[in-house]
Amino acid sequence: MKAVRLQAYGDVDQLRYEDAPDPVPGAGEALVKIAVSGLNPVDVIVRKGLFAQVAPLQFPAILGVDAAGTIVAAGTGVTEFAVGDRVVAHLPLNGKGGYAEMAASPVAGIAKLPSNVTFEAGATLPLVALTGRQAVDLLGVKRGDRVLVSGALGAVGRVAVQYLQELGAMPVAGVRAARLAEGRALAGEALDIDLAPSSPDFDYAVAAAAPVAANTVKHVRDGGKVASAVQIPEGADDGRPVAVQRFMAHDDPVVLRRAVDAAARGALTIPISATFGLSEAAEAQRALAQGPSGKVLLIVQA
């Protein structure tokens, strides 16, 4: 198969489009012929070696944790998926990822993709769907709760807002002043996340964007909780008793399937800002580094 393989930790010049061995699905895995691969900031973090102590790579390695495509083979013990199924996959950080024509994925990271959801839309979902929904679950939000979602217009934020609405909670989009109208259109209520409140107004918050993560904490009452998959600077709580719970998204086929179902019924849409061919992965990562307003995708196979 063709793949873009990272030759060593470093800049995008270490990404090389080349032939690679076809992956073989192991027990509990399915082999996905990838149509579209989605890029995420973690791809850049891994490429630079900033995650090497947690998940070291063997080179050459293939990046990419989000993919959408069709199952072409299944390993032993796989009964919930069949050859020909359209799926999305959240791939492990094991150097055998989605910048390739095929990838083997554990079935815990796979969900069927309804026919009314394109591969492009499907490839925007896996990591952000798991992250946004698991952040809300971590807070223990109940119907009627008012919850701040900072960075609500980003992909993770949009997932969190949609899930809160699904639960009957009341999301408030924490956005920059120039985007308040967009925030209100998405969540129904919005606030300028950069303005420190005279008194904190929320029991719960999701920090979905690193640039405003510190400001998120300032809006949470004493005894409140913040769920964050991004780094929150030390001292952001001003010494107040606010519980900041950091986490990493993990595979959960039920959570992933429910997010895909939300996309299928039109309740969840992640904007796409740019698409590139597989051989253009370096250019795609450069676009990602510019902080695009939507997802960056690799079109692997038409």
Q: What is the pLDDT of residue 133?
A: 97
Q: Are residues 94 and 18 both part of a single domain?
A: yes
In a domain, 255, yes or no: no
Which range (48-57, 119-128, 146-155) has the least confidence? 48-57
257 found inside a domain: no
Give the pLDDT score at 6.
98
Integer CA distances (angstroms), 181 to 24, 57, 159, 185, 186, in order: 48, 43, 18, 6, 9
* Same domain assignment for residues 172 and 96: no
Is 212 exposed, middle or buried, given 0-12, 13-18 or 19+ CB atoms closer than 10 A? middle
9 burial class (0-12, 13-18, 19+ CB within 10 angstroms)?
middle
Residue 169 domain-assigned (yes or no)? yes
Same-domain pairing of 219 and 132 = yes
Does one domain contain both 161 and 222?
yes
With a pLDDT cut of 70, the percent of the chain lying above it is: 99
Please say if the pLDDT value at position 239 is more than 90: no
Average pLDDT (10-17) is: 97
Rounded Cα distance between 178 and 172, Å, is: 16
Average per-residue pLDDT in the chain? 94
Q: Is the pLDDT of residue 244 over 80?
A: yes
**Domain region containing 22:** 2-124+270-299
Q: Which of 67-76, 81-90, 97-106, 223-232 has the lowest mean pLDDT?
A: 223-232
Instruction: Report the pLDDT averaged over residues 63-90.
Output: 97
For residue 19, is it within any domain?
A: yes
Average pLDDT over residues 114-131: 98
Mean of pLDDT values over 31-58: 94
| 209: confidence class by pLDDT, cuts 50, 70, 90 | confident
CA 189 to chain centre: 24
pLDDT of 23 > 80? The answer is yes
> How many structural domains comprise the chain?
2
Is the pTM value of this prediction over 0.75? yes
* Whether residue 302 has pLDDT greater than 80: no
Q: Is the pLDDT of residue 238 over 80?
A: no
pLDDT band at 55 (very low <50, low <70, confident <90, very high): confident
Residue % of the chain over a pLDDT of 90: 84
